[in-house]
Amino acid sequence: MRAWLYLIAAAVAGAIVTTPALIVLILLGGSFDDALVAGLATLMIAAGIAVVSMRDIIRCGLAMIVCFLSLAGLYVSLGAPMVAAAQVIVYIGAISVLILFAIMLTQEKVGSARLTFQTQAAPAAIAAIVIAVLVSVAAFGTSWGEVSEHIRSATVYVAHALFQNYVLVLEAVGVLLLAAVIGGVFLAKREKGA
């Protein structure tokens, strides 16, 4: 009985996610690329909503991974496979897994792993929608010029960017990570006798 319910839920979710893609493809006459972007974007938004609305914190973490995955997909479709790979490796491979482990380790076994719902969900939703509207108005109202040109995605350009134009940034990120690791170790270290 429950298995059926899950199946139906999955079907509904799949339909919701694929519908925009199909609309773009069939009704608006877009290319497959456009349909892919629409589908991934819908998936990302759906996963994002799931992250903030689900009550089980582990499921939230899993939904976040889905969200990151679809973002990686968007990067691929925009022609930036290197960035996509970095996204998968760093955000899904490292950060999300770390967060999930942290949650599982810190949660009490017996107690609920449930988030307390907030009373300001409604105003928060409104604020989020307003910001989204603002961003999209701004995005559509701007002529993006050269920035919107197709990114040259060959590895050699990425290397040039990282080690020539932005080498200082890269080094600074190195220092940042070092500081973070040291601080993290200090904070995670058990007190003597504790």
Partner 1 sequence: MTLHQMLVFLIIALPLTGFLVTALVGRRLGLNAFWIPVAPVVGSWLVAMYVIATFHDVLPAGTDGIAVTLWQWIPAGTFTVDFGLFVDNLTAVLLVVVTTVGMLVHVYSIGYMRHDPGYWRFFVYLNLFMVSMLLLVLADSWLVLFLAWELVGLSSYLLIGFWYRKRTAAEASKKAFITNRVGDVGFALGIMAIWVNTGTLNIRDSIELLVGPASMGATGSLAFAGGIPVWVIALLLFAGAVGKSAQFPLHVWLPDAMEGPTPVSALIHAATMVNAGVYLVARANPIFASAPEAMAFVAAIGIFTAILAASIALTQTDIKRVLAYSTLSQLGYMFAALGVGAFTAAIFHLMAQGFTKGLLFLASGSVIHAVHDEQDMRKMGGLRKKLPHTYRTMLIGAIAMSGIPPLAAFFSKDEILGESFKLGFQWVWAIGILVAVMTAFYMFRLIGLTFWGKSRVDPAVEPKIHESPRTMTVPLWLLAIPSVLLGIALTWPGPPLGPLFGMEGEGLLGGYLKPIFEHGQEILGRREEAFQLAGIDGMLLAISIAVALAGMLAAWRLFGVEIGPIRGASRPALVASLTKRVPFLYRASANNWWFDDINNLVFVVVGGRIANALAWFDRNVVDGVVNGIGALTRRSGGGLARVQTGRVQNYALGIALGLIAMAGSYFVILGR
Partner 2 sequence: MPNDILALGPFIAAVSVAIAVLLVDIAVPGRRGPVLVVSLGGLALVAALTLTTGQAVAGGDGTLRVLAFGGAYVVDGLTTFLDLIFVGIVAFTIVFAPDYLEARGLPLAEFAMVLLFAMTGAMLISGAGDLLVLFVALELMVLPGYMLAGYHKSDGYSTEGAIKYFLLGSFSSAIFLFGLAFTWGATGTTSIEGVSGALAAAVAGGGALAPALVLGLGFLTTGVAFKIAAVPFHYWTPDAYQGSPTPVTGYLSVGPKVGAFALILRLFVDALGPLRVDWLQVVIILAVFTMTLGNLVALTQSNVKRMLAYSSIAHTGYMLVGLAAFAAGRIEGLEGLLYYGAAYSVMNLGAFAVVAAIQRRAGVTSGLDTFAGLGRREPWLAILMTLFLLSLTGIPPTAGFFAKAYVILAAVQAGNAGYTAVGILAVIAVINAAAAAFYYLRVVVYMFMREPRSEDAAMAHGRLMWGGLVVASVLTVVLGLIPGPFLDIVGRAARAIGG
Q: Which residues of the chain form contacts with partner 1 (CB under 8 A)? A: 106, 108, 115-116, 118-120, 123-124, 127-128, 130-131, 134
Nearest distance from residue 134's CB to partner 2, in Å? Answer: 6
Query: In whole angstroms, how close is the CB of 109 to partner 1 at the nearest point?
Result: 13
In angstroms, what CA-CA distances link 64 with 27, 79, 99, 124? 31, 23, 10, 19
Residue 145 contact among partner 1, partner 2, none, beta carbon within 5 to 8 Å by kind: partner 2
Pick the closer one to partner 2 by CB: 10 or 173: 173
Nearer Cβ to partner 2 (2/189): 189
Using CA atoms, how far apart are residues 75 and 70, in angstroms rounded to an integer? 9
Q: Which is nearer to partner 2, 23 or 167 (CB)?
A: 167
Cα maximum dimension of the chain = 68
The one-letter code for the residue type at 135 is: V
Residue 76 to residues 14, 73, 105: CA-CA distances in angstroms?
21, 5, 34
Measured distance CA(122)–CA(178) in Å, rounded: 40
Structure tokens at 171: 């080094």
At 163, the amino acid letter reads F
Shortest Cβ 107–partner 1 spacing (Å)? 8
- Pick from partner 2, partner 1, none: which does 123 bind, CB < 5 to 8 A by kind? partner 1
CB 190 → partner 1: shortest distance, Å? 14
**Which of partner 1, partner 2, none lies near 154, with the C-beta cut-off 5 to 8 A by kind?**
none
Please choose, from the candidates 137, 36, 19, the residue with its C-alpha nearest in 3D space to the C-alpha of residue 79.
36
Least distance between partner 1 and beta carbon 127 (Å):
4
Give whichever of 5 and 194 is closer to partner 2, judged by the CB atom: 194
91 contact partners, CB below 8 Å, separation of at least 6: 68
Which residue shows structure tokens 């839920």?
A: 9
